[in-house]
Amino acid sequence: MEGGAAANSDTTAGGAAAATGGVQIKPSRRLPDFLQSVNLKYVKLGYHYLMSHLLTLCLIPLMAVIMVEVGQMNPEDVRQLWLHLQYNLVSVIVCSAFLVFGSTLYIMTRPRPVYLVDYSCYRPPSRLQVRSDQFMEHSRLTGDFDDASLEFQRKIVERSGLGDETYVPEAMHYLPPRPSMAAAREEAEQVMFGALDNLFANTSVKPKDIGILVVNCSLFNPTPSLSAMIVNKYKLRGNIRSFNLGGMGCSAGVIAVDLAKDLLQVHRNTYAVVVSTENITQNWYFGNRKSMLIPNCLFRVGGAAVLLSNKSADRRRSKYKLVHVVRTHKGAEDTAFRCVYQEQDDAGKVGVSLSKDLMAIAGGALKTNITTLGPLVLPISEQLLFFVTLVAKKLFNAKVKPYIPDFKLAFDHFCIHAGGRAVIDELEKNLQLMPVHVEASRMSLHRFGNTSSSSIWYELAYTEAKGRMRKGHRVWQIAFGSGFKCNSAVWEALRHVKPSPKGPWEDCIDRYPVQTVS
């Protein structure tokens, strides 16, 4: 399962304090203080506008000067200029040749755009739903957990942010549970084939047209592989480039997209399918070590299939264009490497252990990731503020707080991996986001639970179902995973995006957002 998942166990990170900790203002000073805050707000908006349009504002006077000078030229000056150009015809031809050669070279070597034609998120049948009280009663009746473990799970479930409509695999609905290789294969087939059937139906793409297949699932890696199961089911062509990624945690969905993107730079005029999922059936923990019980409370059934293309003809019908992928790996640090670790407990039962340092490690990975991502996406105004603050702190030892860039100026929508409530709380606080920016993440966690690497696609589907995605909007998908990794993908909407048929929110979007645990 995965690292991001874990951060779940917990309380909100200072939100209540922020809400109630305002300074008492004397009645006589309320209006001036209000006016001052309004003035500062508009000063900052004016600064961002000035820096964003600085080049245009500088070019306007220059163009005005050129036009005035041209207007003052007499016919004789114009004739002399034309004669001068005739005498330098060779220079003009040489410059034109270099310009044509350079333009051709750029067009031939530039990165190919990667388009997201469509994607599909799997919605399990209602018979697999589990309520919180059912989950606890089932855990008690299995007889595998002592009283302390049951109480610990009860607290986690209460604080997790999960609702009563999430799904667990069929093997976990039996008493006692029936985990087996056959049941795990059945779960994988239901999720992957369910998402792919809907994807092929919505896009009218034939399976034989797929040239690249990338599948990621962290904990279930049978032989033949999951990618081979898909090849066999849909009779994909014999020369398909297929890849199966295992053990990479909840951030593997972005890794799979990055791999597909690189392959699409090499192989012309083809489609790539990315399938992201996790398998729970054989990875349920039946012991009493608390650090291994958290995944039971958070992970639920889910998966997504994504269709990517490098065909220029697909731009018109595609939903998004891939803009950036930034990957951060902290595996060289021992504490980061072991913070999400699959192992046996003292009784020999296998589970995924989550370190108490997980949130701190995730924070460090996030800082490294956004340090790389920031210059690629932030407006120049934010980059200058960050640079000036850094110089003042490093060179002049000024006592100033590190400037946190305003990523709301770079992105319109945020898809934060729904690993747990604490993960979303921390990113909302540290990135200074508004509740609407994390709404998709909280609602996906509530409705579907932690679906591992596919959670960012359920969140994107939520934004579309709400009718909020407009042409030109930018989306930031960010996920955390064992290893320890933090990965980001940036997409740009190519049109006003509407939800695809049989989407995961089709039957319930009118009920959302709902009030979640605080």
Q: Residue 107 corresponds to which tokens in the numbers above?
A: 């067009």
Instruction: Collect all residues with Cβ–Cβ distance below 8 Å to 264 and sequence separation of at least 6.
Output: 112, 114, 212, 270, 272, 308, 309, 310
Nearest to 8 by CA among 155, 213, 198: 155
Residue 446 falls in the annotated catalytic set: yes
Q: Are 491 and 457 in contact (CB under 8 A)?
A: no
Query: Catalytic one among 8, 198, 446, 487?
Result: 446
Query: Catalytic one among 121, 369, 413, 437?
Result: 413
Query: Catalytic one among 198, 450, 486, 487?
Result: 450
Nearest to 302 by CA among 187, 423, 199: 187
How far is Cα 39 from Cα 41, in angstroms, rounded to an integer?
A: 5
Residue 310 falls in the annotated catalytic set: no
Query: Catalytic one among 283, 417, 437, 486?
Result: 417
DSSP letters for 113-144: P-EEEEEEE----GGGEE-HHHHHHHHHHH--
Residue 48 falls in the annotated catalytic set: no
How far is Cα 183 from Cα 176, in angstroms, rounded to an integer?
A: 14
Q: Please, what's the b/e burial string for 77-114 (b: 16 or more CB within 10 A of its CB; e: otherwise)?
A: eeeeeeeeeeeeeeeeeeeeeeeeeeeeeeeeeeeebb
Q: Residue 207 corresponds to which tokens in the numbers above?
A: 């399976």
How far is Cα 145 from Cα 193, in angstroms, rounded to an integer?
A: 34
How far is Cα 444 from Cα 466, in angstroms, rounded to an integer?
A: 13
Query: Catalytic one among 244, 296, 329, 486?
Result: 329
Query: Catalytic one among 217, 250, 297, 339?
Result: 250
How far is Cα 12 from Cα 159, in angstroms, rounded to an integer?
A: 10
Residue 450 falls in the annotated catalytic set: yes
Q: Is residue 484 reached through a cis peptide bond, with omega within 30 degrees of 0 on the bond before it?
A: yes
Residue 417 falls in the annotated catalytic set: yes
Residues belonging to the active site: 250, 329, 413, 417, 446, 450
